[in-house]
């Protein structure tokens, strides 16, 4: 267990800004013994969301799955200058940013074999999440982080992050909160006062995300789905199975893991495709990873 499992806030100066979340911002911090971590900080009024995210990360922390690991089991509270009260959680640092960063580095469109390689790991994370009764509710490229892989023949490992809008088992349906996220990724059953959250919500978001990464625009024409962009027949079939209007008819993560689109034997993407945050690539920030 890391010596930083229980953290002392005052010893963790912020080294850089990593990104903006739904209810706060992500910064890079380093412990006195050199461990680099990602710190998510939110205003106190969002503490319930951060506490929920912390519970979910801790629930999966000792399970071998594609979900980001916490580097501390608790939510920390502190008072900033001008009496601003905030709370924060700590997670392992992604040395290669997110799928959004990878897409940007590739010029906005990723090759199909790269998307399939990445989405297979996303599906494995969703399968484990759904098996335990959780729904991510905010699946999008910036919430899928990229880590180095230590498995021979594999380039990278992808993990789900960003659980502040998630639905817990037997928990309330966070329908109103979802519209503060990314409406383009929302499944149709979420809309309206009677909207319900279940695991197919994540599958719909996955389908939209895959089409975007491949440079396609998907339009629901009522009884027919139209694709604008060069998608292969395998990719079209995969996306269609994700964005079926009725949630019961959508494929599950377990089923999609065996879809030919993510099982194509096209090899792993080249190392050059992996993004690296500027704060880590310029050699100024030094430290070890969790």
Annotated binding site: 40
Burial class (CB in 10 A: 0-12, 13-18, 19+), 251: buried
Closest by CA to 56, choosing from 187, 159, 206, is 159
Residue 46 has, within 13 A of its CA and on its CB side, a CA count of 21
Alpha-carbon gap, residue 18 to 31, rounded angstroms = 17
List phi, psi (to 5°) of 146: -115, 125
Question: What distance, in Å, lies between the first and last C-alpha atoms of the chain?
Answer: 10
Binding residues for ATP: 40
Rounded Cα distance, 112 and 240, in Å: 16
**98 and 144 in contact (C-beta within 8 Å)?**
yes
What is the rounded CA–CA span in Å between residue 47 and residue 289?
Answer: 27
Torsion angles phi and psi, residue 76, rounded to 5: -95, 140
């Amino acid at each position: 267990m890391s010596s930083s499992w229980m953290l002392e806030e005052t010893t963790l100066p912020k080294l850089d800004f990593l990104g903006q979340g739904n209810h706060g911002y992500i910064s890079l911090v380093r412990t006195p013994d050199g461990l680099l971590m990602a710190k998510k900080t939110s205003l106190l009024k969002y503490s319930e969301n951060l506490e929920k995210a912390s519970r979910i990360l801790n629930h999966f922390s000792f399970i071998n799955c594609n979900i980001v690991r916490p580097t501390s089991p608790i939510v920390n509270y502190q008072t900033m200058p001008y009496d601003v009260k905030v709370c924060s959680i700590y997670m392992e640092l992604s040395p290669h940013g997110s799928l959004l960063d990878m897409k940007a580095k590739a010029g906005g469109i990723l090759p199909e074999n790269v998307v399939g390689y990445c989405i297979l790991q996303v599906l494995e994370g969703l399968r484990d999440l759904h098996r335990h009764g959780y729904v991510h509710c905010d699946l999008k490229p910036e919430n899928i982080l990229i880590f180095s892989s230590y498995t021979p023949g594999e380039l990278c490992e992808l993990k789900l992050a960003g659980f502040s809008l998630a639905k817990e088992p037997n928990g309330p349906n966070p329908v109103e909160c979802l519209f503060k996220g990314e409406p383009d990724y929302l499944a149709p059953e979420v809309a309206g006062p009677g909207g319900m959250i279940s695991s197919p919500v994540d599958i719909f978001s996955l389908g939209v995300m895959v089409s975007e990464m491949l440079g396609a625009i998907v339009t629901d024409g009522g009884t027919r789905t139209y694709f604008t962009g060069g998608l292969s027949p395998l990719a079209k079939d995969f996306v269609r199975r994700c964005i079926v209007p009725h949630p019961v008819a959508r494929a599950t993560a377990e089923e999609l893991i065996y879809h030919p689109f993510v099982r194509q034997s096209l090899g792993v993407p080249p190392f050059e495709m992996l993004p690296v945050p500027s704060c880590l690539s310029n050699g100024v920030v030094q430290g070890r990873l969790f």
